């Protein structure tokens, strides 16, 4: 039961309908389909009827009021690629809809073990015809191109005719909301249908984007469980293809229509149409049950690797599973894409990839599926050249600067003060690579790809910074907190830059004599003198500290600003970004999200415990948590500082953020980073996991009313099971060649299948 989310359909308002479209979306990392009602919603409803492909985009002009030198002129936007979800059902001519007749009962279900969403409905038409409807949807993890709808209708109290009108609409538009900067402001016709045809009732279409010239092919086929069904497929206006299925039914009879949609694209396939045709043929030969079986198998492996259970709080347990499942749904399974801020669940942030991936989502995959994590990091390697070009555009003479938000690696942020100026993205990517290495020991990745990224990002710091009185400073950057922009020496930025410089040099020494190391040195022309400069900058990195208060200021000028009066700010004025001019916000001490506090999570040596505690307490009073990336970071740091109640309370808020629509915008898509943050709050926060050069350690505690919790992680190819109980913690090596581990300060060596137990009260 803890992997099933159920929601009764009682409220058919616009708000609730859109929210359920997000919560019950299906995705597999390649395609994402919003949980839109097949039959549609009233015309005045403002919903997103979306189907997306990870990394599939078009290019649109970026409007700049004043086009200053090297401003971003174009941006990429993830496209809604087609509509193959629409199915209308008629009982003797009366059309099923929740907005006519009577919905006697209705439920939406997400079954995370089976990997399907389901809608079950009992509906009565205006003339009293009762239908029992069961609709199952799946985006297959086994065959990433495949989306299925299994639509079963039982004629409960009549004999007559059931009709299914199923559509394949190749040309669709994106959603827009000019009032919300987190969404696209204008709608545009990006797609042109270049091929559409019907072969033996199967429909095919190819669309091409206007500017990026990418092609998307869709192939749609239907199966019906009744041999007396009459099927007719025709093409109409705008290349909309309709498959009309008419079935005579007797009272109590069930008709099942299975709709298979296959998506392919020219990013991954030379000839997407042929690839789609071949895939569809194979899929039809295998049949739906084969894919249901494979889906279950895939998820059982996933939940074994990413197993996490909480005793004593069923709702949280469910929320935690939901968050991990959504991370899996959102993550690309190839390096053509990555993980968008909203996954593949909606159009918020236009399908862009941010630091969210490296700092919030990736740690989950590093610990539960290192191969996938490696691939996600590969994406950054694939886009390194574009980061080099970006650095040049920004006036740097060398190095690489990763874009703040992007799809293919080019900067897509139009407002540089809270976009491009967030140079910490470089340090975040470096941090993620180093963390991946420390958890997996995969030096090959460092040799082949990682060190090149680290050296180029480190070069950028050297170019961006300068020395003042012997201290290395980084001026005019923006930290993670977007309510404070363009500052000198943002503490978080300087900390990640320091780490980046340290490890770029350290790896250099580790690999310089190897064949691949030599190749890399030659390729990027790195000199020993530069490495020395990196070491020097690292050693002399300036880190702000306020002697008077014993608190770490977010940046050099932070404490010279007045404190924003959060108590007097009307509730309806949050999030502040939607109600106040940014410049006004910048002049106050007010934080959108964890910034300095986030650094305390990443670095044990950030400051001594007293400074961290004082600073944490201070930032608590001035942080709005308007960003969903905030509370999870506060939870982890609270746990680190032994503030157990606070850690638990921040965690509770972040774990159910989407399920309870706490930010009131889940309708635009899930908050993927928060989901990763919530996972980290358990393993790094409550369980006190630390993985560094000296090895792995845990130091867990039981939060709130929990009576126990357990999870699996992978460390250096060892699969560990960690079980925290009221008075003890045990660690079992499920598989692997063995590892040392420190548990509550005691050192152990674990062999395969061995369990160690430590009394946590001792």
Q: Among 355, 381, 449, 711, which residue sits at the site for ligand BGC (rule: CB under 6 A)? A: 355
How far lies 493's CA from each of 361, 488, 596, 641, in Å? 19, 10, 9, 22
- By CB under 6 A, residue 158 contacts ligand BGC: no
| Phi/psi at 69 (5° precision) | -55, 125
The two counts, helices (H) then strands (E), for the chain are 20, 29
Closer residue to ligand BGC (CB): 242 or 661: 661
Measured from the CB of residue 340, what is the shortest distance to ligand BGC in angstroms? 9
- Name the segment binding ligand BGC (CB under 6 A); options: 44-52, 217-225, 348-356, 543-551: 348-356
Question: Per rule CB under 6 A, is residue 425 in the interface with ligand BGC?
Answer: no
What tokens does 5 get? 């989310």
Q: Binding string to ligand BGC for residues 646 to 685, with x set by CB under 6 A, is what?
A: ---------------------------x------------
CA distance 281 to 293: 19
Q: How far is the CB of 341 from ligand BGC (least distance, A)?
A: 4
Nearest approach, Cβ of residue 402 and ligand BGC (Å):
13
Tokens of 484: 């404070």
Pairing between β-strand 739-743 and β-strand 695-698 as defined by DSSP bridges: parallel
Q: In whole angstroms, give the CA distance from residue 339 to residue 326.
A: 11
Quick one: which H or E segment has residue 584?
helix 582-586
| Nearer of residues 329 and 593 to ligand BGC, judged by Cβ | 593
Q: How many Å apart are CA 197 and CA 233, to the nearest integer? A: 10
Q: By CB neighbour count within 10 A (0-12 exposed, 13-18 middle, 19+ buried), where does 574 fall? A: middle
CB of 304 to ligand BGC, least distance (A): 29
Q: Among 37, 377, 629, 720, indicate the residue that binds ligand BGC (CB under 6 A).
A: 629
- Residue 482 among the catalytic residues: yes
CB of 593 to ligand BGC, least distance (A): 6
Other Cβ atoms closer than 10 A to 708: 15
Give the active site residue among 326, 482, 530, 646: 482
In 25-65, beta strands by DSSP E: 26-27, 31-33, 51-61
Binds ligand BGC by CB under 6 A, chosen from 36, 593, 654, 665: 593
627 touches ligand BGC (CB under 6 A): yes
Q: How many CA atoms lie within 13 A of 698 on its CB side?
A: 30
Among 292, 354, 449, 618, binds ligand BGC (CB under 6 A): 354
In angstroms and rounded to an integer, the radius of gyration of the C-alpha atoms of the chain is: 27
CB of 78 to ligand BGC, least distance (A): 14
Cα 751 from chain centre: 35
Query: What is the residue whose two structure tokens read 């809604």?
Result: 80
* Residue 38 tokens, joined: 């097949």
- CB atoms under 10 Å from CB of 282, counted, come to 12
Compare residues 410 and 537 and give the one whose CB is closer to ligand BGC.
410
Query: CB under 6 A: which stretch of 90-98, 116-124, 203-211, 347-355 binds ligand BGC?
Result: 347-355
Q: By C-alpha distance, which of 426, 359, 263 is closest to 680? A: 359
Which residue, 425 or 698, is less far from ligand BGC as judged by CB?
A: 425
Nearer to ligand BGC (CB atom), residue 263 or residue 355: 355
477-496: contacts with ligand BGC (CB under 6 A):
480, 482
Q: In angstroms, what is the minimal distance from the CB of 413 to ligand BGC?
A: 10
Return the range that interacts with ligand BGC (CB under 6 A); candidates 252-260, 353-361, 529-537, 710-718: 353-361
Return the beta strands (E) in 174-326 as ranges.
191-199, 202-209, 215-224, 230-235, 241-249, 254-265, 308-311
Does 601 bind ligand BGC (CB under 6 A)? Our answer is no
Q: Is 267 in the site for ligand BGC (CB under 6 A)?
A: no
By the rule CB under 6 A, 376 interacts with ligand BGC: no
Closest separation between CB of residue 661 and ligand BGC, Å?
16
Q: Nearest distance from residue 356's CB to ligand BGC, in Å?
A: 5
DSSP state of 480: S
Should residue 544 be labelled a site residue for ligand BGC when binding is judged by CB under 6 A? no
Q: Residue 194 and residue 695: Cα distance in Å, rounded? A: 56
411 binds ligand BGC (CB under 6 A): no
Q: Could you tell me the strand order of the sheet in which 202-209 lies?
A: 4-8, 102-111, 116-124, 130-139, 146-155, 254-265, 215-224, 202-209, 191-199
Q: Would you say 356 or 533 has its CB closer to ligand BGC?
A: 356
Q: Please give the residues from 165 up to 184 whose contact with ligand BGC meets the rule CB under 6 A.
A: none
Nearer to ligand BGC, 171 or 352 (CB): 352
Asked if residues 337 and 379 have their Cβ atoms less than 8 Å apart, the reply is yes
What is the residue-wise DSSP string for 61-111? Answer: E---SS--TT---EEEEEEE--B---EEEEETTEEP-TTSSEEEEEEEEEE
Q: Are 17 and 38 in contact (CB under 8 A)?
A: no
Interaction between residue 356 and ligand BGC (CB under 6 A)? yes
Pick the binder of ligand BGC from 133, 341, 446, 698 (CB under 6 A). 341
Separation between Cα atoms, residue 671 and residue 336, nearest integer Å: 21
631 counts as binding ligand BGC under rule CB under 6 A: no
Of positions 136, 380, 592, 640, contacts ligand BGC by CB under 6 A: 592
Position among 52, 349, 503, 508 found at the interface with ligand BGC (CB under 6 A)? 349
Residue 54 or 209 having the CB closest to ligand BGC:
54
Evaluated on CA atoms 119, 123, 125, 130, the torsion sign reads positive
In the complex, the smallest distance separating the C-beta of residue 628 from ligand BGC, rounded to whole angstroms, is 7
Cβ proximity to ligand BGC: between 272 and 480 the closer is 480
Nearer to ligand BGC (CB atom), residue 258 or residue 418: 418
CA-wise closest residue to 202 among 163, 233, 170, 225: 233
Q: Which is nearer to ligand BGC, 338 or 627 (CB)?
A: 627
Binding status of residue 407 toward ligand BGC by CB under 6 A: no
Distance separating alpha carbons of residues 200 and 222, to the nearest angstrom: 11
The distance of closest approach from Cβ of residue 577 to ligand BGC in the complex, given in angstroms and rounded to an integer, is 8
Q: Which are the catalytic amino acids?
A: 482
Instruction: Name the residues that contact ligand BGC, by CB under 6 A.
Output: 341, 349, 354-356, 480, 482, 592-593, 627, 629, 673
């Amino acid at each position: 039961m803890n992997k099933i989310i159920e929601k009764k359909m009682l409220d058919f308002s616009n708000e609730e309908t859109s929210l359920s479209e997000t919560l019950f979306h299906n995705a597999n990392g390649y395609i994402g389909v919003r949980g839109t009602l097949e039959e549609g919603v009233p015309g005045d409803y403002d919903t997103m009827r979306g189907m997306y492909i990870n990394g599939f985009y078009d290019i649109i002009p970026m409007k700049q009021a004043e086009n200053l030198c090297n401003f971003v002129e174009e941006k990429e936007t993830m496209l809604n690629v087609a509509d193959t979800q629409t199915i209308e059902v008629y009982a003797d001519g009366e059309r099923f809809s929740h907005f006519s007749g009577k919905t006697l009962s209705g439920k939406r279900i997400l079954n995370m073990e089976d990997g399907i969403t389901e809608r079950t409905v009992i509906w009565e038409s205006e003339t009293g015809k009762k239908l029992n409807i069961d609709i199952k949807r799946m985006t297959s993890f086994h065959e990433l191109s495949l989306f299925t709808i299994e639509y079963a209708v039982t004629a409960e109290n009549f004999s007559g005719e059931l009709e299914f009108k199923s559509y394949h609409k190749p040309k669709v538009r994106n959603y827009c909301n000019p009032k919300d900067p987190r969404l696209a402001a204008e709608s545009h016709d990006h797609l042109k249908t270049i091929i559409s045809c019907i072969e033996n009732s199967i429909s095919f279409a190819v669309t091409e984007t206007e500017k990026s010239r990418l092609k998307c092919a869709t192939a749609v086929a239907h199966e019906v469980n009744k041999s007396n069904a009459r099927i007719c497929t025709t093409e109409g206006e705008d290349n909309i293809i309709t498959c009309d299925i008419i079935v005579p039914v007797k009272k109590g009879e069930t008709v099942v229509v299975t709709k298979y949609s296959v998506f392919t694209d020219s990013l991954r396939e030379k000839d997407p149409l042929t690839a789609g045709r071949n895939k569809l043929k194979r899929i039809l030969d295998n049949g739906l049950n084969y894919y249901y079986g494979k889906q279950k198998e895939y998820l059982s492996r996933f939940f074994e690797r990413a197993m996490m259970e909480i005793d004593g709080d069923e709702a949280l347990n469910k929320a935690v599973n939901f968050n991990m499942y959504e991370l899996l749904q959102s993550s690309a399974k190839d390096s053509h894409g990555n993980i968008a801020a909203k996954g593949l669940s909606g159009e918020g942030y236009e399908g862009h990839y941010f630091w969210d991936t490296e700092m919030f989502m990736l740690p989950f995959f590093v610990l539960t599926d290192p191969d996938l994590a490696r691939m996600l990091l590969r994406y950054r390697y694939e886009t390194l050249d574009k980061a080099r070009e970006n650095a040049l555009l920004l006036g740097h003479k060398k190095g690489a600067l990763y874009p703040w938000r992007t799809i293919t690696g080019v900067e897509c942020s139009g407002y540089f003060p809270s976009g491009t100026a967030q140079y910490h993205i470089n340090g975040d990517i470096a941090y993620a690579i180093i963390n991946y290495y420390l958890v997996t020991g995969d030096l090959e990745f460092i040799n082949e790809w990682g060190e090149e990224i680290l050296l180029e990002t480190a070069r950028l710091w050297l170019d961006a910074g300068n020395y003042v009185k012997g201290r290395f400073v980084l001026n005019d950057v923006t930290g993670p907190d977007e309510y404070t922009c363009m500052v000198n020496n943002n503490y978080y930025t300087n900390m990640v830059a320091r780490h980046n410089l340290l490890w770029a040099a350290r790896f250099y020494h580790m690999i310089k004599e190897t064949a691949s190391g030599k190749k890399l040195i030659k390729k990027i022309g790195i000199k020993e003198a530069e490495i020395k400069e990196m070491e020097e900058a690292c050693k002399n990195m300036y880190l702000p500290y306020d002697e008077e208060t014993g608190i770490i200021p977010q940046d050099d000028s932070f404490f010279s600003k007045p404190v924003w009066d959060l108590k007097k700010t009307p509730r309806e004025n949050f999030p502040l970004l939607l109600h106040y001019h940014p410049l006004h916000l910048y002049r106050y001490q007010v934080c959108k999200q964890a910034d300095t506090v986030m650094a305390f999570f990443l670095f044990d040596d950030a400051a001594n415990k007293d400074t961290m505690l004082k600073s944490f307490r201070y930032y608590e009073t001035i942080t709005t948590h308007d960003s969903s990336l905030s509370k999870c970071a506060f939870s982890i740091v609270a746990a680190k500082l032994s503030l157990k109640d606070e850690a638990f309370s921040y965690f509770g808020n972040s774990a159910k953020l989407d399920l309870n629509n706490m930010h009131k915008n889940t309708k635009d898509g899930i908050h993927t980073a928060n989901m990763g943050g919530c996972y980290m709050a358990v393993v790094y926060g409550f369980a006190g996991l630390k993985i560094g050069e000296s090895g792995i350690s845990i130091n867990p505690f039981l939060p709130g009313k929990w009576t126990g919790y357990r999870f699996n992680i992978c460390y250096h190819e060892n699969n560990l099971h960690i079980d925290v109980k009221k008075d003890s913690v045990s660690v079992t090596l499920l598989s692997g060649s063995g590892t040392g581990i420190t548990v509550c300060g005691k050192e152990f060596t674990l062999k395969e299948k061995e369990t160690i137990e430590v009394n946590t009260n001792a």
